[in-house]
Amino acid sequence: MSNPNVPLKYFIVAGEASGDLHGSNLIKQLQQLDKTCQIQFWGGDLMAALAGPPLKHIKDLAFMGFVEVVANIRTIFKNIEKCKQDILDFKPNVLVLVDYPGFNLRIAEFAHANGIKVVYYVSPQIWAWKQSRVHKIKKVVDRMLVILPFEKDFYSKFGVSVDFVGHPLLDAIETVGVVGELNAVDHSTFVVPNLNKNFIALLPGSRKQEISRMLPVMLEVAQKHPQYKFAIAAAPAIDLSYYKEFIQASGMPQIELIQGKTYDLLQMADAALVTSGTATLETALFRVPEVVCYKGGQVSYWIARSLVKVKFISLVNLIMDREVVCELIQDDFNAKRLGEELDKIMDVEVRKRLQVDYQDLSQRLGGGGASLRAAEIVYAEAQKETA
């Protein structure tokens, strides 16, 4: 048993908005299980609300695409070295790595070499590409906690035992209260639209590179669909002035901009245009009809296309193993196609079919309690280190 007089120490590394969300729910459960725990972390505002300021904020870590990574390679390597030093200085009982594989697998290798217990929470998508990473994971990760039902079978093919804990988004969504109104960034009040004007949420991503490619096309669609009311879900880590540049260029100053309240917007939305990523699954779990959007840099896209081994890019379709929601990728992502697909998901029969599929999707994800199950494993691993 652990010494009750010596607090257990946890170091958590999350590098993206989704990791900040999952990391915050993990911290919440750890603090319930282990009242005296000490936590240091790399993450974002959600984690900071529970555990104090991060040693490094996700806004300084979010690089996406091959070209962007190469352009910022010196900064990335400096961050890796700083993270290693922060871990050594803190001397945690357990290191928890949340997704973010390009960075976190390097940290896992370092921690393993230094005798630090490694729990990886939210598996890298090695089933999609870079399957060879499974061998490194087998070597340097002590416990792998997966959140998608097919991942357990994938790992078992390589002789790797993993824990399927369920998807933490189900926990996050269960805690959301009923919303009647929101404050837009100009401090005006954004009220639930009436039934005569359907409301469409725009989710252009959480990184500047994504927003610059996705938002102008989404705004063009909004301009051509005056029968709908639109609002942009602004990521907490992105300065609002960045969004306002695109809004001004679109000639649509009336578009609402709501920051850090994506779940509240989704509760109100009749439909959503969503950049590929965790947000596609969040939108589905709120039962909102959606069109999934993706456009990367040409070089990054063609490299990825040659490497990726899956049929779909959205988690919704991957989990269901068929096309439930429309995916507009690269050249297909344009204002004409996006507007057409938006109109389709406003059709009553299409919406009914989607609701049946969304219910099935939720059941496949294993129900609530993922964050608690993950925290119990992390806590148990930390206790072993002081036994």
Between 17-26, 60-69, 194-203, the lowest mean confidence (pLDDT) is in: 60-69
How would you label 271-298 residue by residue, b for 16+ Cβ within 10 Å and e otherwise? bbbbbbbbbbbbbbbbbbbbbbbbbbbe
pLDDT of residue 296: 77
CA 8 to chain centroid: 28
Contact between residue 277 and residue 322 where contact means Cβ atoms under 8 Å apart? no
Residue type at 377? I
Residue among 237, 260, 250, 252 at smallest CA distance from 185: 260
User: What is the CB neighbour count within 10 angstroms for residue 47?
Assistant: 29
pLDDT in tens, 122-133: 998 887 667 888
The residue with greater pLDDT, 128 or 252, is 252
* pTM reported for the whole predicted model: 0.76
Q: How many angstroms separate the CA atoms of 98 and 170, rounded?
A: 17
Token pair belonging to 73: 């390679």
Block residue for tokens 């915050």: 24
Mean per-residue pLDDT over the chain, rounded: 88
pLDDT of residue 66: 52
pLDDT in tens, 295-337: 876 555 554 555 455 688 899 999 999 999 999 998 899 999 9
Query: What residues are paired with 143 via a beta bridge?
Result: 119
E-assigned strand segments in the chain: 9-14, 38-43, 56-57, 94-98, 117-121, 143-146, 163-164, 181-183, 189-191, 199-203, 229-234, 256-259, 271-275, 290-294, 326-329
Q: With 0-12 CB in 10 A as exposed, 13-18 as middle and 19+ as buried, what is 161?
A: exposed
pLDDT tops 90 at residue 367: no
Q: What is the set of domains in the chain, with CATH numbers?
A: 9-166+369-384 (3.40.50.2000), 176-364 (3.40.50.2000)
Contact between residue 47 and residue 27 where contact means Cβ atoms under 8 Å apart? yes
Q: In what order do the strands lie in the sheet with 94-98?
A: 56-57, 38-43, 9-14, 94-98, 117-121, 143-146, 163-164
The residue with greater pLDDT, 191 or 145, is 145
pLDDT in tens, 57-105: 998 776 555 555 566 678 888 999 999 999 999 999 999 999 998 899 9
Contact between residue 358 and residue 170 where contact means Cβ atoms under 8 Å apart? no
Token pair belonging to 72: 């910022």
Rg (CA), the chain: 21
Q: How many angstroms separate the CA atoms of 37 and 223, rounded?
A: 51
**φ, ψ at 123 (rounded to 5°):** -60, 145
Block residue for tokens 């097919």: 150
Q: How many angstroms separate the CA atoms of 286 and 266, rounded?
A: 7
pLDDT of residue 177: 59
